[in-house]
Amino acid sequence: MKFDSPATTNAIDQLKVIGQPVSRIDGPRKTTGTAPYAFERHDAVPDPAYGYVVGSAISKGRIDAIDLTAAKTAPGVLAVVTADNAGKLAKGSRNFAALLGGPDIEHYHQAIAVVVAETFEQARAAAQLVKVDYSRAEGVFELAAVADAGNPAEGNSGPADTQVGDFSGAFAAAPVKLDATYTTPDEAHAMMEPHASTAAWNGETLTVWTSNQMIDWGATDLAETLGIAREKVRLISPFIGGGFGGKLFLRADALLAALGARAAGRPVKVALHRPLMFNNTTHRPATIQRIRLGATKDGKITAIGHECWSGNLPGGKPEAAVEQTRLLYAGANRMTNIRLSALDLPEGNAMRAPGEASGMMALEIAIDEMAEKLGLDPVEFRILNDTQVDPEKPQRPFSLRRFTECFETGAARFGWSKRNAQPGKVRDGNWLVGLGTAAAFRNNLLTKSAARVRLDGRGVVTVETDMTDIGTGSYTIIAQTAAEMMGVPLEKVVVHLGDSTFPVSAGSGGQWGGNNSTAGVYAACMKLREAVAQRLGFNSAEADFIDGQVRSGTRSVPLVQAAGDIELVAEDGIEYGDLGKMVQQSTFGAHFVEVGVDTATAEIRVRRMLAVCSAGRILNPKTARSQVIGAMTMGVGAALMEELVVDKRHGFFVNHDLAGYEVPVHADIPHQDVIFLDETDPMSSPMKAKGIAELGICGVAAAVANAIYNATGVRVRDYPITLDKLLPRLPEVG
């Protein structure tokens, strides 16, 4: 189905199932431990061997010699695979560093061997016996030292540089100016389930039970890496214990399970152990960002400039932190640029809202600082510079942008009017209390997505698509879509996901999964409705599918009759025309945060949070809310504690376990409120929905930072905002 004109009224608009706060249909399986994850597929592979991954102990250089004698003869060992004996391996198009390194080493803890043994403990013990001689090479590990020499690099959806009007002239002439530099650190996905795969060969064909957000990318890249045909690889990933972008790509677990299984001649399972994950897999790269704002005295932005610097392995991509600045605020004179330097740290790549999450961390502090310079309320300043058109290309309107309403609604609900604009003035016992706000912004991405739908003789509708559920609720909204479309209750829908033999979907990433994958199911259901109508003798354009019946005029036939003994099957997908080019599709929000800062110790605790979101139709308010509060939690982590600390001498992330890499715990997270503006966006898809899961993180950290400033009068521009950065400037304890 081609989607190239705005959606009109359709079956989804009935909202009998869609739009309802349905609990996750996979919930009971997860809470009872009966949803099998990749490492526990005993049902499919009863007797696997275990692989344990050895990571490089140096960041850059070469392996001179690798001695496997002791490891190979250790008890229980079946095989040891290294680059030497793995056979020829290519590199998948989405990997920058080799997943099995050697003799060249590209980053710390790059996998250099997998030891396969009868038991996990045997594999782990034998892995310690692998003896490696390295030659270290000089590496570049510090972004700040090389940022100035960075090269222009394309963003996720735009060029390296943009210029509109005369930025320098307008900035120089602006009566009120801000020129400030911000930094964000490297961050880890730190999801609960580690990367894990169980691999089994059957002759030339390979099946991998894995944990991966993008099944088609994974299967394609695994086939390419192994040099076998794509059809010979099957990926199965029905349940995923979190990803946040860390499982978008083929990673070492899947490749090494496949290689280990081939070498051992039997199925092998591999999970990356936690201390290896932080340097072996991908992370969100650190940034340095300079923001310049110029405005008239009454607060109209006349010049807006945003530059960002990040680093990555050669061939890698930048953290494109300026792209939201091209779209978020009005202003006639604009410039942005993206610079990238080569670094020898582990591979940087997408993490929840890549680009925008980092960019909003900086931009939304800058806006707060500018509002203060102007003597304006930060809510008012943002509303004043709202725009209904793409500010770089004013002929392109936004499809739907209720940015101002987000702030007005949120300010009223949060009690923003009670904020004392003068920082450091509000005390509650030993706490300095402050309120902060920030905009949320994330683009809505359109990508094709297909599904297969079956109707059987019991009236059960079964959906099959390689879409994944990474804890987001995909199972549920897909079931809701099929139920709505076919006019059956939710209990009559079965959903199968995450199998590369199913039609290729959008997958989970970039907050595109919800809208696109359900639109694909919509398309397949439209096709199934046609088949049903034809079999039952209806004109499909006039038939309604309601309450298990197919109706037209006075005639009504039970849906179940359409299938009879022969199952009806339909397959289709959604594809997008040029709508997305003619209008700008984005999602918007406003975050409000209250923090307390301890007057003595500068410990920071978030006390209240609210997010208001304008993100098209909310397919399921319950799962959508879960996404947003999860994202807000992650935003608090980014604001206050998350940082992969670089050892600048040896080039690796030092705090590589969950004790050292702190993310928020329950005690850090207070009551969180979420409001969704009631709306539909007919430009996005027949679902009229947009993304929500990444919008929720964008801006949160800045809202926290702004609240800390309001509480203390101390402005910190380097994340995370830990107490040691506040202490030197905190007032004496009174």
Partner 1 sequence: MKSVSYERANSPAEAAAAAARTPRAKFIAGGTNLLDLMKLEIETPSHLIDVNRLDLAKIEPTSDGGLRIGALVRNTDLAADPRVRRDYGVLARALLAGASGQLRNKATTAGNLLQRTRCPYFYDTDQPCNKRRPGAGCAAIGGFSRQHAVIGASDACIATHPSDMAVAMRALDATVETIRPDGATRNVPIAEFYRLPGETPEIETTLAPDELITAVTLPKPVGGKQIYRKVRDRASYAFALVSVAAIVQRDGSGSVALGGVAHKPWRLEAADAELPRGARATTALLLGDAKPTRENAFKLTLAERTLGAVLAAAKG
Residues contributing to the site for partner 1 (CB under 8 A):
55, 57, 74-76, 109, 119, 121-122, 124-126, 128, 275, 430, 598-603, 605, 640-641, 645, 647, 649-650, 654-657, 659-660, 662, 664-668, 722-724, 727-728, 733
Radius of gyration of the CA atoms of the chain, in A: 27
> Closer to partner 1 at the Cβ: 48 or 498?
48
> Alpha-carbon dihedral of residues 97, 98, 100, 103, nearest 10 degrees?
-90
Of the residues 224, 307, 694, 732, which is catalytic?
A: 694
DSSP 410-471: HHHHHTGGG--SSTT--EETTEEEEEEEEEEEEE-----EEEEEEE-TTS-EEEE-S---SS
> Closer to partner 1 at the Cβ: 144 or 600?
600
- Residue 392 — φ and ψ, nearest 5°? -85, -25
Long-range contacts of 428-431 (CB under 8 A, 24+ apart): 428/596, 430/598, 430/599, 430/600, 431/596, 431/597, 431/598, 431/599, 431/605, 431/711
How many residues appear in the chain? 734
The position carrying tokens 């399972």 is 269
> Closer to partner 1 at the Cβ: 313 or 602?
602
> Closer to partner 1 at the Cβ: 202 or 601?
601
Q: How far is the CB of 655 from partner 1 (least distance, A)?
A: 5
CB 604 within 8 A of CB 557: no
> Alpha-carbon dihedral of residues 56, 59, 60, 61, nearest 10 degrees?
-40
Q: How far is the CB of 58 from partner 1 (least distance, A)?
A: 8
84, 70, 180: which is closest to 130 by C-alpha? 70
> Closer to partner 1 at the Cβ: 122 or 333?
122
Q: Does residue 118 carry a catalytic annotation?
A: no
Q: How far is the CB of 644 from partner 1 (least distance, A)?
A: 11
Q: How far is the CB of 368 from partner 1 (least distance, A)?
A: 23
d(CA 209, CA 198): 5
> Closer to partner 1 at the Cβ: 145 or 727?
727
d(CA 129, CA 73): 10
> Closer to partner 1 at the Cβ: 213 or 599?
599
Q: How far is the CB of 722 from partner 1 (least distance, A)?
A: 6
Q: How far is the CB of 18 from partner 1 (least distance, A)?
A: 38
CB 690 within 8 A of CB 400: no
Q: How far is the CB of 98 from partner 1 (least distance, A)?
A: 19
d(CA 192, CA 254): 18
Apex CA 644: angle with CA 640 and CA 645, to 5°? Answer: 100
Q: Which residues are catalytic?
A: 694
